[in-house]
Amino acid sequence: MSAAKRHIVVVGGGVIGLSTAIALLDHLSSRYDVTVVAEDLPDHPSTTSPSPSPSKPPASYASAWAGAHHVSDAKTEEELARDQVTFDVLKRLHAARPPGFDEAGEPIVWNHQVEYFEQDRINRAAVEWYPDYRELDPSMLPPGACFGCSFSTCTIVVPLYLPFLFRLFLARGGRALHARVTSLEQALSLAESRTADFICNDTTASFAAPSALVVSPGLGARALADDEAVHPVRGQTLLVRAPWCTLSERDTVPNADLPRTAAVSPWPGLSRCNEEGFRDVYVIPRGGADGHFIVGGTRLPHDWSDEPREATTRDILAQALRYMPALANPHRSLTAGAGEAQPDDVDVVAVNVGFRPARSGGVRLERGPSLGQAQVVYNYGFGGVGYQASWGAALQCRDLIDDALGQARAPRGSTLASLDGRCQL
């Protein structure tokens, strides 16, 4: 380690914490060492048992249970900017394909997306910037929809993407500590321990005392940051097998704005935005050859139950079949006399429950009072938009760290130094 490097501690191993940690490491001047301290981390040989079946992540580790697709729901210019930066970085990562990117499969899959809106006030600004955007003819709209559009975007295949982020973090020289902490002071203390069992690629590296702390623990911020505004929004989703549910010729789009390396999934994505402005029906293709989809979903604030509910499963399927009846297995006999696909006609592989880490009043992305010699930046409260806002939030947080430590920010428009072409991937 160079003596000039500052040591930054990131509390949280979800998509926000890991993206922020990578952004700090992949800086133009490589001026930081980074330690992640987290109770939950992605699957990795050093974080899982030797048994063939790693333990199931808890519902509170929302990043492990997300869908996730990049479909902006931005309500403000700041939110939209975060989403657009993230989309740009995802495109660049897919094109650059850093080592380990597709180690277990494609973590980013491009797909054709259809959006239906039931409210009269349409937030076109949130989606009209996507590649291949076009508005649907009213004759193509399902009952109840007053507007529809389609565009090209990407699915983030969470079981592949989250471990990729962790591998990239380690490859960039970061280290992680799998630990549950009860205070931010404890996280700082553990990060400079000489006896802790760190996960890292270079076991000979030594880190200085922490100069700054990034607080990104998801729901853990309720206790660690003493923030009672943080609460769960329970989401129940289904993993569905439907390889027969492919794009029609009518849905084919040119994809002229996607990376040259992009392989567009033959499976479509779909969402419905309800009268309250929330996407309460969504079908997200997972990529791969098996034709798996994530189908959702629910938004139940302050609901801490992590047990699947059969009634919710059936309601999710009934709603999704209204918009994508092709999810039903064509080789399975439809319910006698029903005349249309029913929930029992869908091949459900798994039922998932996760707690989105929401915050009343919105995201907290700001500097806070220092802890001893460590400057503090808070970066949490993204609810269900963590993946689509992740890189935008990470780069904002990096700027705040630079400011707090008196370091020059990266040039405007810079993302990761490796993707900017200024250093070797």
Q: pLDDT per residue over 125-155, tens digit each?
A: 999 999 999 999 999 999 989 999 999 999 9
* Tens digit of each residue's pLDDT, the chain (425 residues): 445 699 999 999 999 999 999 999 999 877 899 999 999 999 876 655 444 455 789 999 999 999 999 999 999 999 999 999 999 999 999 999 999 998 889 999 999 999 999 987 788 999 999 999 999 999 999 998 999 999 999 999 999 999 999 999 999 999 999 999 999 999 999 999 999 999 999 988 889 999 999 999 999 999 999 999 999 999 999 999 999 988 654 454 455 555 555 556 788 899 999 888 789 999 999 977 789 999 998 999 999 999 999 999 999 999 999 999 999 998 875 554 556 889 999 999 999 999 999 999 999 999 999 999 999 999 999 999 999 999 999 999 999 999 999 999 999 889 999 998 644 43
193 and 79, same structural domain?
Answer: yes
Q: Which residues are annotated as a binding site for D-dopa?
A: 282, 356, 384
pLDDT of residue 334: 55
Q: Which residues are annotated as a binding site for FAD?
A: 48-49, 181, 203
The domain in which residue 388 lies consists of 1-106+158-229+360-425
334 and 284, same structural domain?
Answer: yes
372 and 350, same structural domain?
Answer: no
* CATH value at residue 374: 3.40.50.720
329 and 254, same structural domain?
Answer: yes
Q: Which of 146, 122, 327 is CA-nearest to residue 238?
A: 327
132 and 10, same structural domain?
Answer: no
197 and 66, same structural domain?
Answer: yes
Domain boundary among 359, 391, 407: 359
235 and 220, same structural domain?
Answer: no
27 and 63, same structural domain?
Answer: yes
280 and 240, same structural domain?
Answer: yes
Q: Which residues are annotated as a binding site?
A: 48-49, 181, 203, 282, 356, 384
* CATH value at residue 290: 3.30.9.10
214 and 195, same structural domain?
Answer: yes
pLDDT of residue 248: 58
pLDDT of residue 249: 42
Q: Which of 207, 110, 227, 199 is CA-nearest to residue 157?
A: 110
Domain boundary among 359, 387, 411: 359
pLDDT of residue 39: 97
348 and 249, same structural domain?
Answer: yes
212 and 236, same structural domain?
Answer: no
Domain boundary among 330, 359, 388: 359
Query: Structurally, how many domains does the chain consist of?
Result: 2
